Amino acid sequence: MVKIGIITVSDRASQGVYEDISGHAIIDTLNDYLLTEWESVYQVIPDEQYLIESTIKQMADKEKCCLIVTTGGTGPAVRDVTPEATEAVCDKMMPGFGELMRQVSLQYVPTAILSRQTAGIRGKSLIVNLPGKPKSIRECMDAVFPAIPYCIDLIEGPYLEANEEVIKVFRPKAK
Amino acid sequence: MVKIGIITVSDRASQGVYEDISGHAIIDTLNDYLLTEWESVYQVIPDEQYLIESTIKQMADKEKCCLIVTTGGTGPAVRDVTPEATEAVCDKMMPGFGELMRQVSLQYVPTAILSRQTAGIRGKSLIVNLPGKPKSIRECMDAVFPAIPYCIDLIEGPYLEANEEVIKVFRPKAK
Amino acid sequence: MVKIGIITVSDRASQGVYEDISGHAIIDTLNDYLLTEWESVYQVIPDEQYLIESTIKQMADKEKCCLIVTTGGTGPAVRDVTPEATEAVCDKMMPGFGELMRQVSLQYVPTAILSRQTAGIRGKSLIVNLPGKPKSIRECMDAVFPAIPYCIDLIEGPYLEANEEVIKVFRPKAK
């Protein structure tokens, strides 16, 4: 069974001060996108770097999630440390994801440049930081998801099939 | 009183070989933008990494500047070390600033990709590298300034008010 | 004599499993672009980080290549380590090259964000990672080459003259 990790990083959501709309928005979007059956591994944690790191490691190494998406903690505030945690546990960084997400969000708000989102690879898992706001999540996922199944092929993960009517994923033809 | 640091990094300007047009262009632009009263903390220094670092630290930690802008030293030449100095003293990096400034400058000159400008946060100060050329300074400031007051809100700095007729800054509405 | 290094990073091409089309595409493109006479220093090596590093160092420090271009090894797969090798041997990084190449490639394929290409400076050499696919190589070179001769001027390399009918390079006018 294909597993995908969803990590909501938020002091307030983790304390139950408000509902985790963002995490559920990611799960809904992935359900929309994917024909392949998948199982979510879902956690809501506070903005603590060591906790974000250990949660990513757990989902990558133990749960064998091929994709791990985070939401929250990518801004400039002192408690925003998701990109630092991501970089600390990744073998290699994928700068193109953050660049494209910021570019897309810039069409909506000039504060998109404050988002420090990144992505990277740990073993056979792709980790992608998404923004915290539900509206921006879908915009960003629509932008980067077309490249994700092929990325997972390249890191020897499972073959993900997407619903072409919802999202067009791209795989280059074999040489 | 709101304080903003302006650091001109230039061997020649610091030796008095030529006038610091760039630093003054930044001060003029900020005067254009801001309704909030502010005071400049202004230095012209040579392209020495330790000096750039100590000047940023002084302006952030002692002078409590909420914003520190540098000009110069972002190219590929051996003496260009402003981005390295900035990264060395920042707690977190803000890659979106450099990306957007290069993108904007690319509309004018293909050599915009040679600019290594970045931005970052140190404590409660936002540090932004601007290019060295006066003309490019205004282009870059017009592009990134709309996000700066909200960034300073998020790092718990003073509330900056801008002149809407000159520059439209953006603050998302509270949830 | 101006020297330019071309490094094809590919396990299979280095074993002779297939011909190195990409390396030859780079040489052909540079022949198209340059009026200045130049000599290629050409190597095909496997995807080993220490080998990529030592080859770049050799071409920069011993061969005095003013420009070193690599092809291959920039994806997310476990053997793709060209950007890491490049960063390890460079004095300063040039993020604008990777950003622009990804942006240009995004016009063709959404998987362009999987490319981790970067560029940097080592001494008086500019090192630029190009993608592995021959078709993408020309697209990327057309995008970034206009800035390369001026970059080499700035790092005190030789003056490269390009064929204006093929590629328009840009040098800002002296102040």
The single-letter code of the amino acid at B145 is F
Angle (nearest 5°) at CA C172 between C171 and C175: 140
Instruction: Give the count of beta carbons closer than 10 Å to the beta carbon of residue A25.
Output: 21
Q: What is the DSSP letter of A160?
A: -
Query: Is A166 a domain residue?
Result: no
Name the neighbours of C, counting chains with at least 3 Cβ pairs within 8 A.
A, B
Q: Which residue of B has its CA nearest to C146?
A: B110
Query: Is A109 a domain residue?
Result: yes
Identify the three-state secondary structure at position A133.
coil
Q: For residues B33 and B164, give the distance between their C-alpha atoms in angstroms, rounded to a whole number.
A: 8
Interchain CB contact of B126 with A (< 8 Å): yes
In the predicted model, residues of chain B with pLDDT beneath 70 are 174-175
Are C76 and A154 within 8 A, CB to CB? Answer: yes
Copy the structure tokens of residue C82.
């060209």
Confidence of residue C129 (pLDDT cuts 50, 70, 90): very high
Give the list of residues 6+ apart from residue A39 with CB closer than 8 angstroms, or none.
A1, A2, A3, A4
Query: Is A162 a domain residue?
Result: no
Are A97 and C113 within 8 A, CB to CB? Answer: yes
Query: Is C143 a domain residue?
Result: yes
Q: What is the DSSP letter of A3?
A: E
Q: For residues A105 and A61, give the distance between their C-alpha atoms in angstroms, rounded to a whole number.
A: 32
A-B C-beta contacts closer than 8 Å: 61
Q: What is the mean pLDDT of residues A20-38?
A: 97
DSSP notation for A61-78: IIS--SEEEEES--SSST
Q: What is the DSSP letter of A58?
A: I
Q: State residue B174's pLDDT score.
A: 63
Q: State residue C101's pLDDT score.
A: 98
Count of alpha carbons within 13 angstroms of residue B169, beta-carbon side: 19
Q: What is the mean pLDDT of residues C7-14?
A: 96
Of A68, A71, A24, the closest CA to residue A47 belongs to A71
Of C99, C121, C147, the CB nearest to B111: C147
Query: Is A108 a domain residue?
Result: yes
Are C126 and C152 spatial neighbours (Cβ–Cβ below 8 Å)?
yes
Q: Which residue of B has its CA nearest to C127?
A: B76
Q: For residues A32 and A35, give the distance between their C-alpha atoms in angstroms, rounded to a whole number.
A: 8
Q: Which residue of A has its CA nearest to C78?
A: A155
Give the list of residues 6+ apart from residue B38 with CB closer than 8 angstroms, or none.
B1, B2, B3, B4, B30, B160
Q: State residue B60's pLDDT score.
A: 98
Q: What is the pLDDT of residues A135-148, one digit of tens each?
A: 899 999 999 999 99
Q: What is the pLDDT of residues B99-109, one digit of tens each?
A: 999 999 999 99
- Specify the length of chain B in residues: 175
A150 CB neighbours in chain C (<8 A) are 111, 114
Please say if the pLDDT value at position A65 is more than 80.
yes
- Name C137's bridge partners: none
Average pLDDT, chain C: 97
Please say if the pLDDT value at position C98 is more than 90.
yes
- Name C83's bridge partners: none
Query: Is B175 a domain residue?
Result: no
| Three-class SS of chain B | CEEEEEEEECHHHHCCCCCCHHHHHHHHHHHHHECCCEEEEEEEECCCHHHHHHHHHHHHHHCCCCEEEEECCCCCCCCCCHHHHHHHHCCEECHHHHHHHHHHHHCCCHHHHHCCCCEEEECCEEEEEECCCHHHHHHHHHHHHHHHHHHHHHCCCCCCCECCCCCCCCCCCCC
ipTM of the prediction? 0.96
Query: Is C174 a domain residue?
Result: no
- Name B92's bridge partners: B121
Total number of domains constituting chain B: 1
Please say if the pLDDT value at position C174 is more than 70.
no
Of A84, A103, A113, the CB nearest to B147: A113
Percent of chain C with pLDDT over 90: 95
The answer to whether the Cα torsion of C65, C71, C76, C79 is positive or negative is negative
Query: Is C109 a domain residue?
Result: yes
Q: What is the pLDDT of residues C142-165, one digit of tens each?
A: 999 999 999 999 999 999 999 999
Interchain CB contact of C116 with A (< 8 Å): yes
Rounded to 5 degrees, what are φ and ψ at A165?
-75, -20
Name the neighbours of B, counting chains with at least 3 Cβ pairs within 8 A.
A, C
A76 CB neighbours in chain B (<8 A) are 92, 94, 121, 126, 151, 154-155
**pTM of the model as a whole:** 0.97
Q: What is the DSSP letter of C77?
A: S
Interchain CB contact of A106 with B (< 8 Å): yes
Q: What is the mean pLDDT of residues C38-44?
A: 98
Interchain CB contact of A174 with C (< 8 Å): no
Give the domain CATH number at C72.
Answer: 3.40.980.10
Interchain CB contact of C16 with A (< 8 Å): no
Q: What is the pLDDT of residues B5-44, one digit of tens each?
A: 999 999 999 999 889 999 999 999 999 999 999 999 999 9
Instruction: Give the count of beta carbons closer than 10 Å to the beta carbon of residue A18.
Output: 10
Q: Residue A31: which domain range?
A: 2-154
Copy the structure tokens of residue B110.
């293909």
Of A81, A84, A62, A65, the closest CA to residue A73 belongs to A81
Are A101 and A42 spatial neighbours (Cβ–Cβ below 8 Å)?
no
